[in-house]
Amino acid sequence: MKDGLIVYLVSTPNIPEEFNAPAAAQELGYAAHRVELVAPDQGFFTVEDAWHFLLTRGCARISLVVGQAEDPHHLRPLGPAVRLCG
């Protein structure tokens, strides 16, 4: 069973172009097979789109973490991850 993680970026006016969501999630201890980004100018535009994408890629457990990108490899979570399904 694959795990998926959605990283929802908020209050980040200038997201670094080279922001690496999988590396940032791994640094925080989130182990996921796939990590997708939801942000105004990168990744998906809505959580629902990212959720559907992960489901169609075989992820049975999907979690969501809301945070701010501080540099290309660092994410500051604004709360704990929430399991969306699985």
At residue 55, the 3 state secondary structure works out as helix
- Confirm if 64 and 44 have CB atoms less than 8 A apart: no
Written as six digits, the tokens of 44 are 């998906």
Q: Which pLDDT score is estimated for 51? A: 96
Residue-range domain boundaries for the chain: 2-17+28-77
Measure CA 18 to chain center: 15
pTM of the complete model beyond 0.85: yes
pLDDT in tens, the chain (86 residues): 899 999 998 876 777 777 888 888 888 888 899 999 998 877 888 999 999 999 999 999 999 999 988 877 788 899 999 999 98
- Confirm if 77 and 67 have CB atoms less than 8 A apart: yes
pLDDT tens-digit profile of 43-58?
888 999 999 999 999 9
- Confirm if 7 and 37 have CB atoms less than 8 A apart: yes
Instruction: Report the distance separating Cα 50 and Cα 36, nearest Å.
Output: 6
